[in-house]
Amino acid sequence: MYLNHITEAIGNTPLVKLNKVTDGLAATILAKVEYFNPGNSVKDRMAIKMIEDAEQAGLLKPGGTIIEGTSGNTGMGLALAASAKGYKCIFTLTDKQSPEKINILKAVGADVIVCPTNVAPEDPQSYYSVAKRLNQEIPNSFYPNQYDNLSNTAAHYATTGPEIWQQTEGKVTHFASGVGTGGTICGISKYLKEQNPAIKAIGLDTYGSVFKKYKETGIFDKNEIYPYKTEGIGEDILPKNVDFNLIDLFIKVTDKDGALMTRRLAKEEGLFVGWSCGTAVHGALEYAREHLTQDDVLVVLLPDHGTRYLGKIYNDDWMRAEGYLD
């Protein structure tokens, strides 16, 4: 048996028990390891779904160009799908993204435009604005807009959620994930809560992001927005894929704590994962220490692979320069 294209390898990723970083905890902590997807990230799932839904709706036609603002992983998923289907790709990224992400996107045939991080979303230079402008200027182009495209949530409702339910034999009691576009946590949470309404969904946020305060107060506070280093999670906007009714609570994690836990996962668990994976595990374990018992099963989603961050958190000199290592 063989696959007709690499995109057919998306999904059915393993669930792995964490053993060392969870020392002293009574609950069972399981990691959904998404770097087993062919593009090495969870974003492969929603990328193929957004493209196939756009094709069915007539929004993406043969020979078209896919234009997207991405922190890197969605771009990789879209590029894999584009190679299977014969589309061109143009991606906008912020200048805080790792060089590895930019080089990987170029390697799979995409054009990459790097935009400044520290500008407002509505600024003409922002990676959101540049992607939208190019979509208007380039004929036969499609702007998936992963933030507001509900195919993002639908992909995880259809695949990742059912996988977690089946892999835990319905014993999952808590689910934790970083929140960026919101599609991953909300699609999975929607499916799991339909199976068992008592399951709690925990969103991991960064300092410098608006999600936690908005969930707790209903206030979009621009004073919460400031630069942070962690890639792929947190936002200065409220994407349509973030359904706050499906997320029970948010926990904020510092850049340093996320980075150090990421390195621990590699050294102690053999999981060579990306920065936001450490953020998710750090926050999930913080919650587990205070709230979970031996009867609980917490699944934490690990979005991507460590190769994206070789020049940053897996580089001792960079870590020291940021004050993350002594």
Average pLDDT score over residue span 242-256:
98
What structural domains does the chain harbor? 6-36+159-321 (3.40.50.1100), 43-142 (3.40.50.1100)
Rounded distance, CA 208 to CA 226, Å? 5
CA nearest to 271, candidates 41, 55, 33? 33
CA nearest to 262, candidates 248, 243, 236, 281? 281
Could you tell me the pTM of the whole model?
0.95
The answer for 40, left when phi > 0, alpha when psi is -120 to 50, beta otherwise, is left
In degrees and rounded to multiples of 5, residue 22 shows phi and psi of: -100, 10
Q: Residue 302 pLDDT > 90, yes or no?
A: yes
Q: Give 306's DSSP letter.
A: G
Residue 99 pLDDT grade (very low, low, confident, very high; cuts 50, 70, 90): confident
What are the pLDDT digits (tens) for 116-145?
A: 988 888 899 999 999 999 999 999 999 999
Q: Give 253's DSSP letter.
A: E
Neighbours of 285 (CB within 10 A): 22
Q: Which two tokens stand for residue 183?
A: 């599609």
Strand partners, 178: 204
DSSP 3-state percent helix, strand, coil across the chain (nearest 5): 40, 15, 40
Weakest mean pLDDT among 75-84, 171-180, 193-202: 75-84
Q: Which two tokens stand for residue 197?
A: 């309404």
Rounded distance, CA 197 to CA 252, Å? 24
Residue 72 pLDDT grade (very low, low, confident, very high; cuts 50, 70, 90): confident
CA nearest to 42, candidates 82, 71, 13? 13
Rounded distance, CA 276 to CA 98, Å? 13
Strand partners, 30: 17, 299
Q: Which residue numbers are catalytic?
A: 43
Structure confidence at residue 96 (pLDDT): 84
Which of helix, strand or coil describes residue 296? coil
Q: Are 47 and 66 spatial neighbours (Cβ–Cβ below 8 Å)?
A: no
Task: Give the percent of the chain with pLDDT over 90.
Answer: 93
Average pLDDT score over residue span 306-310:
93
Rounded distance, CA 210 to CA 228, Å? 12
Q: Are 164 and 175 spatial neighbours (Cβ–Cβ below 8 Å)?
A: yes
CA nearest to 187, candidates 171, 208, 165? 165
